Structure 1
């Protein structure tokens, strides 16, 4: 195989590939073997017709085209490896010479990763923020624990609904005196003050008692996701079936024993303070990383091909679709709720996608410039983490990643993280 590389412009390359005649002969035989099994030729059992008969029946051009398909993919892959180009999209293929008795020549034109001109990425000045932990932060965490371990107490018929109570209600909604679809439910559990219902609905239940019936008057928001209800006035006939109230335990040593391994409230507070301080430190370190990377990226210049941004946008939408799927929703429902469409979403994602692509390209250029690689020990350590996460043997995880073509992705992630750490270590943090 002979390869001639041509740089068409900064982000596009051309490969003229010549395949020796011997490979053409082998490919023609493979093409015959493949096609003869598909074609019914009178007088011959399927798969048994001689090559000359098949050629007369389907035409030599069909055999040559099949042989070309057989040769293009492996030879293109070999040419990419030989020249070191990094394609980012599907190639366009033009056949120059295709003859059974001559070398096969074809030209590939493909978008490639752009060249990055690095700016200053060592000695970056960055300030490390300080996030002090106040007593108020500790108290918020204690309050969260109180709410988490609170008991729900059934109220009696004489008790009135208060904010933060949980009411079981039957309701039916009416617009212009007519019930509407989706506007009714029985024994619905509603947190008073949760904001999960139409604005004003929950407030009008405060003060109500069990078995009481109330008419709740509300106006649907103008941007409500159901167009037929948007901006409409509605009346909900509501009956209170039951009410529960959280009973919060007092903050004392007994509470500390119930919710933690500590024997006193003082020790629990000390542990909460420590954990909040550790979290604040991690947050500060993450800020430094983000700032260092941002400044290194801003200092570099690169002409990003639109196809790379398009691909990143598609990946972002795929990620969103997967998250929605795990919540029992789909993208179409989400777009309807957001009063948007796919094209608008793509445009909204595009600036972030472009920044993400540039960040990846710059970090990749830095790791190449500095010779940063993932060591065998680091790869093994990462594989062990994945194996532990999925409760699988390390060798099985490695084999599965290799088969899926994702082992290189894992190694690449390690090198990117090492590159970020390198930038931080080389920066001047105040």
Structure 2
């Protein structure tokens, strides 16, 4: 086998490969053996037609497609290995010369893994933001606890007020016609929650039980349904019940009933501590992102378009899986958000480009710093993953992960060690 390589673009190479005649004839024989069961020739049992008879009766062309595939399969990976080429996509193959008793010649054009030119990745000064816990944040958390433990009771007299819960029947009309999804019965709507569009909730303020109120609103331009986007609508709303929420007092009794603490002071201190921990985690996370953003920004790399598209494919797939957990489809998501797959993929492209570059830069640093993963580190990662699925360490699950996911575990360990190296070497 002979191969010539030509670089035709930044990340694209083209090979011209010659497979010797005897090797291609062997591929023809393999193609015959694969297909012999399908040949019917008078005077021969099915599956027993000799190769020379097949060629005479059907023509050599009947074997060429499989023979070409076998010849490429046997030579292409060898060409890549010999030239130290890592492809990122399937090659574009063109047959130059083919025939029995002849050298088989083909070209393969392929996008290759890009080279990364690392810039400074040690000794950088990166701003690390810190976040102080404010009294307002603590009060907000305590307010949320109050809301969760609020009592809801029927309002015997009076009218709908802001903060009340109105139990309503409603039916909506656009251009005088009822529209799909515009009707509901016994719907509990908290007034002031901005659950419904426009000024829908405000227009119910002042109504009494059994009142029917005409509510006039306008759908947002980007509502997500073409027939409703930007359209004025009228709703007939009947007030069936008015409820009020009674928030418990923030006192020691509240602390005892809703937490493991005996006093409101201790509960407040715990809320403050948890907010401080969350802020510290946020600070560390943002610092990591700032470091890798700076390091990636100092590196130079031409990213092949196909790598970006593959990353977008992963993002779409991940979104689809998350939606499935919520009982939704991509089509429903497009309706709710007023977008389509093309717009969504275009929106994802910037993040995909950033993700691909970061991965490439981290990989280049791993090689430059000879970052490796020991067997003990890989097993520790397997234990960590196993504990995510079981309450305690499960040796069988750990062993299974070590057998089936060792490459992924190793990659995770190496990436984490590389990030630790970067964090330790940048201020």
TM-score, normalization: structure 2? 0.88
Where do residues 182-193 of structure 1 align in structure 2 (5 Å cutoff)?
182-193=181-192
Counterpart position of 2:115: 115
More off after superposition, 361-370 vs 244-253: 244-253
CA distance in 1, matches of 2:293, 2:150: 44
Counterpart position of 2:292: 293
Q: Helix, strand or coil for the counterpart of 1:84?
A: coil
Q: Helix, strand or coil for the counterpart of 2:333?
A: helix
**Is 1:149 aligned with 2:153?**
no
Counterpart position of 1:279: 278
Where do residues 161-240 of structure 1 align in structure 2 (5 Å cutoff)?
161-240=160-239
Does the CA-based 8 Å contact 1:31-1:63 persist in structure 2?
A: yes
CA distance in 1, matches of 2:84, 2:243: 68
Structure 2 residue runs of 5 or longer lacking an equivalent are: 391-395
Cα gap change, 1:74 to 1:309, in 2 (>3 Å): same
Does the CA-based 8 Å contact 2:212-2:238 persist in structure 1?
A: yes
Does the CA-based 8 Å contact 1:260-1:268 persist in structure 2?
A: yes
Cα gap change, 1:228 to 1:97, in 2 (>3 Å): closer
Counterpart position of 1:47: 47
Cα gap change, 1:166 to 1:55, in 2 (>3 Å): farther
**Is 1:57 aligned with 2:57?**
yes
Cα gap change, 1:12 to 1:418, in 2 (>3 Å): same
CA distance in 2, matches of 1:399, 1:103: 43
Counterpart position of 1:395: 399
Q: Helix, strand or coil for the counterpart of 2:343?
A: helix
Does the CA-based 8 Å contact 1:383-1:397 persist in structure 2?
A: yes
Q: Helix, strand or coil for the counterpart of 1:362?
A: helix
Counterpart position of 1:249: 248
More off after superposition, 81-90 vs 110-119: 81-90
CA distance in 1, matches of 2:276, 2:32: 72
CA distance in 2, matches of 1:5, 1:308: 22
Cα gap change, 1:64 to 1:148, in 2 (>3 Å): same
Q: CA deviation at 1:18?
A: 5.3
Q: CA deviation at 1:120?
A: 0.9
CA distance in 1, matches of 2:296, 2:136: 38
Q: Deviations over 1:272-294 (max 9, x none)?
A: 22221121111111122111111
Q: CA deviation at 1:101?
A: 5.0
Q: CA deviation at 1:15?
A: 3.9
Q: CA deviation at 1:170?
A: 1.0
Q: Deviations over 1:323-381 (max 9, x none)?
A: 33333333333334444343333333333322222222222111111111232223222
Cα gap change, 1:258 to 1:29, in 2 (>3 Å): farther
Q: Deviations over 1:109-166 (max 9, x none)?
A: 2111221111111101112212111222222221222222323x23144143333333
Q: Helix, strand or coil for the counterpart of 2:38?
A: coil
More off after superposition, 125-134 vs 75-84: 75-84
Counterpart position of 2:374: 375
CA distance in 1, matches of 2:328, 2:232: 28
Q: Helix, strand or coil for the counterpart of 1:129?
A: coil
Does the CA-based 8 Å contact 1:172-1:236 persist in structure 2?
A: yes
Counterpart position of 1:258: 257
Cα gap change, 1:385 to 1:100, in 2 (>3 Å): farther
Q: Deviations over 1:380-407 (max 9, x none)?
A: 2222233333347123334444xxxxx5
Structure 1 residue runs of 5 or longer lacking an equivalent are: 402-406
CA distance in 1, matches of 2:86, 2:379: 27
Q: CA deviation at 1:88?
A: 1.1
Does the CA-based 8 Å contact 1:10-1:115 persist in structure 2?
A: no
Q: CA deviation at 1:103?
A: 6.1
CA distance in 1, matches of 2:159, 2:374: 66
Q: CA deviation at 1:425?
A: 0.8
Q: Deviations over 1:180-206 (max 9, x none)?
A: 333222112323222221211111222
Counterpart position of 1:321: 320
Cα gap change, 1:51 to 1:144, in 2 (>3 Å): same
CA distance in 2, matches of 1:53, 1:189: 81
More off after superposition, 119-128 vs 95-104: 95-104
TM-score, normalization: structure 1? 0.87
CA distance in 1, matches of 2:330, 2:408: 27
Q: Helix, strand or coil for the counterpart of 1:210?
A: coil
**Is 1:128 aligned with 2:128?**
yes
CA distance in 1, matches of 2:232, 2:64: 72
Does the CA-based 8 Å contact 1:95-1:105 persist in structure 2?
A: yes
Does the CA-based 8 Å contact 1:157-1:209 persist in structure 2?
A: no
Cα gap change, 1:82 to 1:177, in 2 (>3 Å): same
Does the CA-based 8 Å contact 1:156-1:210 persist in structure 2?
A: no
Does the CA-based 8 Å contact 2:173-2:233 persist in structure 1?
A: yes
Q: CA deviation at 1:34?
A: 1.6
Counterpart position of 1:66: 66
